[in-house]
């Protein structure tokens, strides 16, 4: 039995006012070809199918087109769980009709946790999946009036760990001991490498789970949320597949899916499928001359989409003239400059950060708040304020997601 683990598609992502659907369609073509060629039996998508709670209609169409083509292959089922960017009700709305097509959707953790246990059988080999989506505060913790944020965070984290414990126990009840068990998840694990494009779920490391807190009953944990592919600590079997396309200029181009194979003796092995990069996201930093020269030396190939470029000038003005020169140097290479920013000298601007050339739209809300309360000297501890802000921010984002 062969299983593919992917996550964080972020269909419909708006990137400097451009959409990523061309790249995302190419990825989905590649994915379908891999599923057909390798005779994959099950596809796991570990959350963040969509970038926003209300994705553009074109993104929804890409999603349903993909599911239709997947179903047409006739040999691959799917398990799709919700992420923090997804609206759980939005994902769950078509779940009944999709289940008839062997596409199993768990947008929100079911009220009866045993409903998150899924069983599969192929050629005499069996597999048990604990399909656990992103767990929101209210999924795992009941509000207690007057409770401090530290206590709330601690209880949220305990609630997440307890949910995994419960699902592990239910898995062992549902499946015989020698059956492979896989859990899914969409969360921050301790020690994970972040990029610029993950929306923080909990500030700091609160609410994040360490490798030893995942029940040992699970032979593999298919995670989403972090966009760089990685194992959690030394636990090779607890993994983020990473996103299939780079979602920010900060991300490496190492994009992959995990291929899991269950052998006749019920053992599970894993390997990597490298995802071809359809479009490069390039960063150039330096003087206008250095940047122009670097762009002129770009090698371009016909079989990729136009590279997108972010430029940070470390000296001189960004006059319209320089801006135009850089843009036309890029255009000569069929590349598109999405942003020209300038790194300002700290002395000129007191304590403003060197990245102050960023437009407000490029800042994450939490980073704006952190800037705002720099040097704050009130009655509440700054950390408590940040926690309150994060709590309100999450509530607003979840309201959006409803």
User: Which one, 48 or 153, has the nearer CB to Mn ion?
Assistant: 48
User: Which one, 48 or 92, has the nearer CB to Mn ion?
Assistant: 48
With CA atoms as reference, report the closest residue to 118 among 108, 128, 110, 109.
128
User: Which one, 8 or 251, has the nearer CB to Mn ion?
Assistant: 8
CB 71 within 8 A of CB 41: no
Residues that bind Mn ion (CB under 5 A): 8, 48
CB of residue 151 to Mn ion, shortest distance in Å = 28
User: Which one, 119 or 193, has the nearer CB to Mn ion?
Assistant: 193
CB of residue 299 to Mn ion, shortest distance in Å = 31
Q: Residue 286: exposed, middle, or buried by beta-carbon count in 10 A (0-12, 13-18, 19+)?
A: middle
Structure tokens that stand for 164 in this block? 């995994």
Structure tokens that stand for 10 in this block? 């972020």
CB of residue 224 to Mn ion, shortest distance in Å = 6
User: Which one, 6 or 163, has the nearer CB to Mn ion?
Assistant: 6
CB of residue 322 to Mn ion, shortest distance in Å = 35
| Beta strands, E only, 123-206 | 125-130, 180-186
User: Which one, 304 or 398, has the nearer CB to Mn ion?
Assistant: 398
Give the span between the Cα atoms of 135 and 389, in whole angstroms.
20
- Provide the 10 A C-beta neighbour count for residue 46: 31
CB of residue 262 to Mn ion, shortest distance in Å = 27
CB of residue 20 to Mn ion, shortest distance in Å = 13
CA 14, 19, 21, 24 torsion-angle sign: negative
Residue 131, CA atoms < 13 Å, CB-side half-sphere = 27
| Closest chain position to Mn ion (CB) | 48
User: Which one, 48 or 217, has the nearer CB to Mn ion?
Assistant: 48
How many Å from the N-terminal Cα to the C-terminal Cα in the chain?
37
CB of residue 11 to Mn ion, shortest distance in Å = 11
CB of residue 127 to Mn ion, shortest distance in Å = 25
With CA atoms as reference, report the closest residue to 282 among 257, 239, 253.
253
User: Which one, 133 or 215, has the nearer CB to Mn ion?
Assistant: 133
Burial 186-207 (b: 16+ CB within 10 A, else e): bbbbeebeebebbbbbbbeebb
Sheet holding 268-274, edge to edge: 103-106, 77-81, 42-46, 2-6, 256-262, 268-274
């Amino acid at each position: 039995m062969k299983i593919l683990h992917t996550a964080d598609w972020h269909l419909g992502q708006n990137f400097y006012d451009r959409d990523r659907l061309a790249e995302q369609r190419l990825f989905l073509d590649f994915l379908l070809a891999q599923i057909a060629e390798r005779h994959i039996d099950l596809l796991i998508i570990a959350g963040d199918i969509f970038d926003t709670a209300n994705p553009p209609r074109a993104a929804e169409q890409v999603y349903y087109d993909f599911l239709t083509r997947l179903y047409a292959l006739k040999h691959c089922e799917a398990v799709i769980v919700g992420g923090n960017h997804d609206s759980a009700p939005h994902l769950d709305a078509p779940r009944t009709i999709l289940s008839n097509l062997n596409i199993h959707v768990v947008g929100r953790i079911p009220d009866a946790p045993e409903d998150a246990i899924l069983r599969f059988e192929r050629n005499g080999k069996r597999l048990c999946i604990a399909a656990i989506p992103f767990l929101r505060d209210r999924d795992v913790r009941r509000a207690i009036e007057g409770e401090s944020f530290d206590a709330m965070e601690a209880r949220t984290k305990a609630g997440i760990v307890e949910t995994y414990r419960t699902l592990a126990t239910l898995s062992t009840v549902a499946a015989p001991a020698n059956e492979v068990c896989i859990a899914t998840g969409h969360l921050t694990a301790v020690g994970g490498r972040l990029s610029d494009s993950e929306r923080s779920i909990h500030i700091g490391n609160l609410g994040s789970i360490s490798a030893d807190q995942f029940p040992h009953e699970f032979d593999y944990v298919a995670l989403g949320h972090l966009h760089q592919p990685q194992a959690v600590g030394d636990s090779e079997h607890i993994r983020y597949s990473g996103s299939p396309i780079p979602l920010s200029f900060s991300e490496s181009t190492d994009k992959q899916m995990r291929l899991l194979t269950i052998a006749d003796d019920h053992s599970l092995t894993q390997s990597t499928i490298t995802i071809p990069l359809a479009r490069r996201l390039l960063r150039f930093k330096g003087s206008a001359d250095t940047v122009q020269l670097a762009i002129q030396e770009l090698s371009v190939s016909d079989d990729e989409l136009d590279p997108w470029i972010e430029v940070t000038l470390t000296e001189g003005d960004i006059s319209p003239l320089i801006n135009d020169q850089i843009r036309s140097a890029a255009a000569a290479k069929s590349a598109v400059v999405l942003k020209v920013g300038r790194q300002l000298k700290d002395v000129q601007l007191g304590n403003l950060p060197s990245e102050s050339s960023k437009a407000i739209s490029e800042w994450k809300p939490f980073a704006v708040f952190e800037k705002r309360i720099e040097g704050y000297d009130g009655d509440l501890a700054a950390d408590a304020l940040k926690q309150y802000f994060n709590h309100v921010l999450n509530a607003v984002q979840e309201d959006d997601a409803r």
